[in-house]
Amino acid sequence: MLTASARLALPDWIHAEVDAAALYPTDEARMALAVRLSALNVERGTGGPFGAAIFDAQGRLLSVGVNRVVPESSSIAHAEMMAYLLAQAATGRARLNDGHPGITLAASGQPCCMCYGATFWAGIDTLLIAASAADVMELTEFDEGPLPADWRGELRQRGITVREGIARGAARAVLAQYARGGGTHY
């Protein structure tokens, strides 16, 4: 018999560590949450060194995600994909900005080729990035996959604003900590 459903879940510690009612009014506050989630995921041994958070135009938290590839045995369980999945479930919208402009994704690492592609269809208006793909590949054994040469331009062409380097040092520190710990790289 074929499997007809699948389930992905964030680690149990998420609810204790994330204040779902808090407002995150600035890019720095939004990125601080994403990077903190990535650090907690490494410290607690619940997945890879990536965190993501999605916010509405007022800075209200819609969802969070951390990398769960190994614990969930799923190549799609990247932090961004987990955040998309959970935000879409919470809002009932496949395109998060459909009738609700101003959706922001804060990602502790530059989205890989899979997460980059999903960003178009998830309905993200602003993409905040901490560590670059070059940082990820320099500090870990992760392969971020092929991106278009002008990936920023492709996002801009689709109306997505990109801001990079927010909390880059803190995100790089999490990547380095993960690599020093001998993390599994997928």
Convert the pLDDT of each residue in 84-119 to its tens digit: 999 999 999 999 999 999 999 999 999 999 999 999
Mean pLDDT of 134-156: 94
Tell me the two tokens of residue 118: 């999903």
Lowest mean pLDDT among 25-29, 126-130, 164-168, 180-184: 180-184
Q: How far apart are CA 112 and CA 170, in angstroms?
A: 19
- Which residue of the set 17, 28, 80, 144 is catalytic? 80
**b/e map of 47-65 (b: 16 or more CB within 10 Å)?**
bbbbbbbbbbeebebbbbb
Q: How far apart are CA 152 and CA 12, in angstroms?
A: 35
Q: What is the pTM of this model?
A: 0.96
Local structure of residue 32 (DSSP, 8 states): H
Neighbour tally for 28: CB within 10 Å? 12
- What does the pLDDT read at residue 122? 98
Q: How far apart are CA 130 and CA 175, in angstroms?
A: 11
Q: How far apart are CA 59 and CA 71, in angstroms?
A: 30
pLDDT tens for 44-74 read 999 999 999 999 999 999 999 999 999 999 9
Beta bridge partners of 126: 104, 161
Instruction: For residue 141, indicate whether it is catalytic.
Output: no
